[in-house]
Amino acid sequence: MGAISEKGAEFLIRSRIADAERGDLDALFELGITYSTGRGGAAVDLVEAHKWFNLAAVSGSARGQECRAEISVEMTAREIAEAQRQARSWLASSGLQRRAA
């Protein structure tokens, strides 16, 4: 990936994380999509994708629940546990009071 694509992917991710920290449910879901598909030049990372879909799901997103279930079949139990740990950590550090599954 070229430097321009990498910068674009980094900007997309940073801006969506900032939106997620403000409680934007769509941003949580879109981060899951970004990491599960490599959208915008981001690297595919199913652990990160699961984390964001999980956060969207516990925030009430049915699409987040569906996508989390879909990618779970491609992941090991250890990867899922790591994604869940990261989701709980993000919730604790973000100040949002939801429980990650």
Domain boundaries, the chain: 3-94
How many Å separate Cα 59 from the centre of its chain? Answer: 12
Q: Is 51 in contact with 29 (CB distance < 8 Å)? A: no
58 closest CA partner among 23, 33, 19, 13: 23
Give the distance from CA 33 to its chain's centroid.
7
What is the predicted pLDDT for the residue at 4?
47
For residue range 35-91, list pLDDT tens digits in order: 999 988 889 999 999 999 999 999 999 999 999 999 999 999 999 999 999 999 999
Based on its alpha-carbon atoms, the radius of gyration of the chain, rounded to whole angstroms, reads: 13
Residue 98 CB contacts under 8 Å (≥ 6 apart), including other chains? 55, 58, 59, 91
